[in-house]
Amino acid sequence: MRKVYLDSNATTQVHPEVVKAMIPFYEEIYGNPSSVHGFGREAKKHLEKARGQVAELINAASPDEIIFTSGGTESDNFAIKASAYALKGKGTHIITSSVEHHAVLNTCKYLEKTGFRVTYLGVDEYGRIDPGELKNSISGDTTLITIMSANNETGTIMPISEIGKIASEKGVVFHTDSVQSVGKVPFDVQKNGIHLASLSAHKIYGPKGVGALYIRKGTEILQWQQGGHHEQGKRAGTENVPGIAGFGKACELANSQGLKECAGIKKLRDRLHKGIETNVKQIRLNGHPEERLPNTANISFDYLEGESIILSLDLEGIATSTGSACTSGSLEPSHVLESMGIEPLFAQGSVRFSLSIYNTEEDIDYVIEKLPPIIDRLRKMSPVYPGD
Amino acid sequence: MEEYSEKVMEHFKNPKNVGEIKDPSGRGKVGNPVCGDIMELYIKVENGTIVDAKFRTFGCGAAIATSSMLTEMAKGMTIEEAGKLSNQSIVDALGGLPKVKIHCSVLGVEALHKAIDDYNSKLS
Ligand code: FES
């Protein structure tokens, strides 16, 4: 059976060149970068090379502004807590959006329990915040804005350059969870007035368990993890050198060919959307039609529940995900779709297709062939389906 | 995610008794307050025995498999027996369900009980 992986916003297959770049750090270059001897110095050299590769991809002013972490979730926790606490003397108000990843939302909720006030900005039907509303929400005690660059479920891109402008006008720190956008769309921390940005390796064909936090020079932030002097004293712990070397390579690839490849991915994504639109009635696209990651299409199949769709697709070898309450663990529907004002009934039937460089036209045509009968079968079973 | 048993997947892939019964002896429609799903169940009763049962479900794989298994089990039961059918017996027949999916089987049983109530109310 054909296997088609369309869940690349969850994780990606590691690029063969990334794997190749990592192997020496398990076999030969196993030194601890903090050690004085040759083994350590060699590892250190590669650690710093990777730092440069990451910095270049996001146009950081200096590699020193990159602190390696264990991934996107840690970077979000680090950025938000360590800067909120550092700025506590100036104020305790944080602004975020209602469609953030749980790594951001739950960190904000945690801070609310410890004396911070958080404003959750709503979004329009496409999932974008209103910069005017953001501006009005800033008060004298606002210290931090944390708004994602692009949404993981819908792919909708936030107006980050406007947010960055407002933040610098008002003298507020701007953190962005850029896990989904880095490597898929041009992302420039300097141009967009970003102080803190969370990155993850495994969303861009790198290994799992590695990420980074970009910290613009001069940004007030506390030490995150206590211990030795690693990572400029900001995050203690022996660095994951193999993972970091892989992350560096993944960033280099994203920089040299990634954005070019994204044009091809977008073509496939649109072919998929069009194919579904022509062959299945009563569907709707969730997310912004244009201001959207090139690899993401979140589509609701009316009158259906998402788990039953992704299970059926899985039986055909096709991997996707859904915003249905039935698969959320908490049995609550997607907070993202809910914030966009999508009725629960239609949020239930949402399926996220997220593509990668590995997908082919044949993959897409296979999905377009397999999907309509699945939808048909399930709709016949649905007590709420009114017919065509 | 916790995996579904083979039996669940079998019933999900080829559910039995999908559809509706014209002029049913009893009909039960329930909504699930947990995740928002909906189940509709029809029974046909002759001489106090369920001779046919059909369903329509808007829900997850477990909800569909439960509906299918439930209608299979209910067929041939007397109204009294069916009234005593527990969600646990359906879960067992399905070779177990992931913990987060037990509520889907409860919904199925509620639909059946509602259909039986409907039947009884028509009798009296
Ligand atoms: S019907 Fe929603 S979890 Fe089963």
Could you please report the per-residue DSSP string of A75-136? Answer: HHHHHHHHHHHHTTTT--EEEEETT--HHHHHHHHHHHHTT-EEEEE---TTS---HHHHHH
Distance in angstroms (rounded) separating the CA atoms of residues A81 and A178: 17
How many alpha carbons lie under 13 Å from residue A192 in its C-beta half-sphere? 23
Nearest CA to ligand 1 atom 1: B59
Nearest residue to A154 via CA among A277, A286, A269, A310: A286
List the single best residue of A303, A308, A377, A379 to mutate versus B (max B Cβ within 10 A). Answer: A308
Domain range for A111 is: 16-254
Judge if A264 and A181 occupy the same domain: no
Judge if A130 and A250 occupy the same domain: yes
Give a yes or no: residue A386 inside a domain: no
Nearest CA to ligand 1 atom 3: A326
Polymer length of chain A: 388
The residues that bridge with A114 in the sheet, in sequence order, are none
Give a yes or no: residue A128 inside a domain: yes
Within an 8 Å CB–CB cutoff, is residue A382 touching chain B?
Answer: yes
Give a yes or no: residue A287 inside a domain: yes
Judge if A180 and A297 occupy the same domain: no
Give a yes or no: residue A39 inside a domain: yes
List CB contacts (< 8 A) between B28 and chain A: none
SS3 A305: coil
Residue B119 vs residues B38, B46, B71: alpha-carbon distances, Å: 20, 11, 16
pLDDT at A26: 94
Nearest residue to A294 via CA among A256, A254, A267, A258: A267
Distance in angstroms (rounded) separating the CA atoms of residues B41 and B72: 12
* Binary contact (B37, A329; C-beta < 8 A): no
Judge if A267 and A202 occupy the same domain: no
Judge if A226 and A325 occupy the same domain: no
Domain boundary at A188, A220, A254, which? A254
> How do the pLDDT tens digits run along chain B, 124 residues long?
679 999 999 999 999 999 999 999 999 999 877 788 899 999 999 999 999 999 999 999 999 999 999 999 999 999 999 999 999 999 999 999 999 999 999 999 999 999 999 999 988 7
Helices (H), chain B: 6-13, 61-74, 79-84, 87-93, 102-123
List the single best residue of A7, A303, A305 to mutate versus B (max B Cβ within 10 A). Answer: A305
Which of B11, B39, B69, B104 has the most ligand 1 atoms within 8 A of CB, as the residue to mutate? B104
Contact call for residues A369 and A318 (beta carbons, < 8 A): no
Angle between helix B6-13 and A306-315 (nearest 10): 100
pLDDT at A331: 84
Residue A356 vs residues A14, A123, A184: alpha-carbon distances, Å: 11, 27, 10
Name the residue of chain B whose CA is nearest to A305's CA: B59
How many percent of chain A have pLDDT more than 70? 100
Judge whether residue A145 has pLDDT over 90: yes
What one-character-per-residue DSSP string does A341-354 give? T--HHHHHTEEEEE
Per residue in A272-328, pLDDT tens? 999 999 999 999 999 999 999 999 999 999 999 999 999 999 999 999 999 999 988
Judge if A203 and A326 occupy the same domain: no
How many alpha carbons lie under 13 Å from residue B52 in its C-beta half-sphere? 12
Within an 8 Å CB–CB cutoff, is residue A344 touching chain B?
Answer: yes
Give a yes or no: residue A325 inside a domain: yes
Distance in angstroms (rounded) separating the CA atoms of residues B116 and B112: 6
Whether the CB of B63 sits within 6 Å of ligand 1: yes
Judge if A343 and A328 occupy the same domain: yes
Q: pLDDT band at residue A149, thresholds of 50, 70 and 90?
A: very high
pLDDT at B35: 83
Mean pLDDT confidence for A21-43: 96
Q: Which amino acid is at B12?
A: F
Give a yes or no: residue A51 inside a domain: yes
- Give backbone dihedrals phi and psi of A170, rounded to 5 degrees, phi first: -90, 0
Q: Is A308 exposed, middle or buried (0-12, 13-18, 19+ CB in 10 A)?
A: buried
Judge if A249 and A360 occupy the same domain: no
Give a yes or no: residue A388 inside a domain: no
Distance in angstroms (rounded) separating the CA atoms of residues B40 and B42: 7
Domain boundary at A254, A288, A310, which? A254
Within an 8 Å CB–CB cutoff, is residue A387 touching chain B?
Answer: no
- Domains annotated for chain B, with CATH where assigned, are 6-119 (3.90.1010.10)
Q: How many domains does chain A have?
A: 2
Distance in angstroms (rounded) separating the CA atoms of residues A311 and B13: 9
Judge if A228 and A264 occupy the same domain: no
The residues that bridge with A142 in the sheet, in sequence order, are A93
- Between A162 and B35, residue with greater pLDDT: A162
Judge if A123 and A201 occupy the same domain: yes
Judge if A199 and A271 occupy the same domain: no
pLDDT at A77: 98
Residue A44 vs residues A19, A31, A71, A232: alpha-carbon distances, Å: 19, 8, 20, 13
pLDDT at A259: 79
CB contact set of B17 (below 8 Å; sequence gap of 6+): B52, B53, B54, B55, B67, B68, B71, B72, B75
Give a yes or no: residue A387 inside a domain: no
Instruction: Find the CATH number of the domain harbouring A138.
Output: 3.40.640.10
Domain boundary at A254, A280, A301, which? A254
pLDDT at A207: 98
Within an 8 Å CB–CB cutoff, is residue A321 touching chain B?
Answer: no
Contact call for residues A160 and A194 (beta carbons, < 8 A): yes
Distance in angstroms (rounded) separating the CA atoms of residues A277 and A282: 9
How many alpha carbons lie under 13 Å from residue B53 in its C-beta half-sphere? 29
Judge whether residue A329 has pLDDT over 80: no
The residues that bridge with B58 in the sheet, in sequence order, are B38
DSSP A232: G
pLDDT at A258: 83
Per residue in A353-364, pLDDT tens? 999 999 999 999
Per residue in A169-222, pLDDT tens? 999 999 999 999 999 999 999 999 999 999 999 999 999 999 999 999 999 999
Please enumerate, as own/partner, the contacts of A371-376 that have beta carbons within 8 Å and a separation of 24 or more.
A371/A276, A371/A279, A371/A280, A371/A313, A372/A279, A372/A280, A374/A309, A374/A312, A374/A313, A374/A316, A375/A280, A375/A301, A375/A304, A375/A309
Q: From ligand 1's centre to the CA of A348, what distance in Å?
A: 10
Mean pLDDT confidence for A18-39: 96
Judge if A31 and A81 occupy the same domain: yes
Instruction: Find the CATH number of the domain harbouring A279.
Output: 3.90.1150.10
